[in-house]
């Protein structure tokens, strides 16, 4: 049976993954200083694809599911997220709001299975929705209505990708991400050519310096290859209920990094919104586990 508690080295590995995923939002912001958002996303998936495609065997799943995952995560999640972060929402708030993918994932799962929403889940959704509503009311320049809407759509696309991936439990997720990138690059490149134009793409590449290319590699190697490989390795050795709560640190790292490196202000309303959303996520993750530990008759 898998261990129920993370050892110290494995806890530090999980912490490193969440730190990479959280600080990644600041890295995105730095890359967008030179690169148009859709071109940046194209490069992200290109470098995640090559040369890893030559080293990893294609996972034993239908091409249709790899294609669906690639389009949803590539053009959907990251394409929309990068557009939103190009002056429409701050990195800290983006790292927070995109975690609403958890609730979109629940909704899609329940729509597919007919499972009813349990009381603790309604409360969790209400708390998170309250946090998003606070951001909408107070965001101003830190979160325009369009930026907030784009990040919520990105979260919904991420949830769609999660739903596709869950049809193949136990698959090597690193190989899954790499091979699905075959289907992320073409739509992103096509949209970049159509919406940003060859001239803007060429200008962005000409402006790109060492910091910009480091941001691209951080996205590809750190965020995708290291992050998914390490997280998948941990999930293979521990119950999901042991590993998953560590993901609550992603927006904490995201908001802290944005404040420290980019000077993003953290007024009371922003901290309150973060508290509501993270508390909703924690309730959704933790309540069933707590109910089982206390041997309550039901988790709802």
In a domain? residue 162: yes
* pLDDT at residue 1, as a whole number: 45
In a domain, 1, yes or no: no
Domain containing 209 equals 8-293
- pLDDT of the residue at 109: 77
DSSP calls for 80-101: HHHHHHTTTB-HHHHHHHGGGH
What was the pLDDT predicted at 188? 97
Q: Is 138 domain-assigned?
A: yes
Other C-beta atoms lying within 10 Å of the C-beta of residue 214: 14
Distance (Å, rounded) from C-alpha 90 to C-alpha 99? 15
* CA-derived radius of gyration, the chain: 19
Provide CB contacts within 8 A for 131, sequence distance 6+.
96, 272, 273, 274, 275, 276, 277, 280
> Tens of pLDDT along 90-122?
999 999 999 998 888 888 877 877 777 788 888
pLDDT of residue 224: 85
Give pLDDT, residue 298.
52
**Where do we find the tokens 């320049």?**
141
Q: Give a yes or no: residue 123 inside a domain.
A: yes
Q: Do 89 and 148 touch, CB atoms closer than 8 A?
A: yes
Q: Does a structural domain hold residue 3?
A: no
Residue 32 inside a domain? The answer is: yes
Q: In angstroms, rounded to a whole number, what is the distance separating the alpha carbons of residues 250 and 282? A: 12
- What angle separates helix 227-235 from helix 8-31, to the nearest 10 degrees? 150
What is the share, in percent, of the chain residues with pLDDT greater than 70?
94
The structure's pTM equals 0.90
Tell me if 21 is assigned to some domain. Answer: yes
Q: Do the beta carbons of residue 109 and residue 273 sit within 8 Å?
A: no
- Decide if 107 is inside a domain: yes
Range with lowest mean pLDDT among 98-102, 143-147, 222-226, 282-286: 282-286
CA distance to 13, 50, 75, 95, 108, per residue, from 203 (Å): 39, 24, 22, 28, 40
Count structural domains, the chain: 1
Rounded Cα distance between 178 and 63, Å, is 13
Asked if 205 and 213 count as a contact pair (C-beta separation under 8 A), the reply is no
* Alpha-carbon distances, residue 126 vs 79, 172, 268 (angstroms): 28, 34, 20
């Amino acid at each position: 049976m898998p261990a129920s508690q993370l050892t110290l080295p494995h806890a530090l590995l999980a912490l490193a993954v969440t730190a990479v995923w959280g600080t990644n939002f600041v890295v995105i912001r730095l890359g967008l200083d030179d690169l148009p958002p859709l071109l940046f996303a194209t490069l992200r998936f290109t470098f995640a694809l090559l040369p890893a495609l030559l080293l990893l065997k294609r996972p034993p799943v239908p091409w249709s599911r790899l294609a669906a995952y690639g389009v949803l995560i590539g053009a959907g999640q990251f394409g929309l997220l990068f557009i939103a972060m190009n002056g429409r929402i701050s990195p800290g708030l983006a790292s927070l709001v995109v975690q609403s993918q958890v609730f979109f994932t629940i909704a899609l799962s329940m729509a597919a299975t007919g499972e009813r929403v349990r009381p603790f889940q309604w409360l969790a959704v209400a708390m998170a929705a309250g946090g998003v509503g606070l951001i909408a009311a107070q965001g101003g320049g830190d979160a325009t209505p369009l930026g907030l809407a784009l990040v919520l759509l990105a979260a919904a696309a991420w949830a769609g990708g999660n739903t596709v991936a869950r049809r193949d439990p136990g698959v090597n997720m690193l190989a899954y991400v790499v091979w699905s990138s075959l289907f992320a690059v073409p739509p992103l490149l096509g949209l970049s050519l159509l919406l940003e134009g060859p001239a803007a793409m060429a200008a962005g590449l000409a402006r790109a310096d060492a910091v910009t290319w480091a941001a691209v590699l951080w996205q590809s190697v750190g965020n995708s290859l290291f992050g998914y490989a390490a997280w998948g390795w941990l999930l293979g050795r521990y119950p999901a209920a042991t590993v998953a709560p560590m993901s609550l640190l992603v927006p904490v790292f995201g908001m802290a990094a944005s404040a420290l490196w980019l000077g993003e202000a953290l007024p009371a309303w922003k901290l309150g919104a973060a508290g509501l959303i993270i508390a909703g996520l924690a309730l959704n993750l933790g309540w069933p586990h707590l109910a089982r530990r206390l041997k309550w008759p039901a988790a709802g």
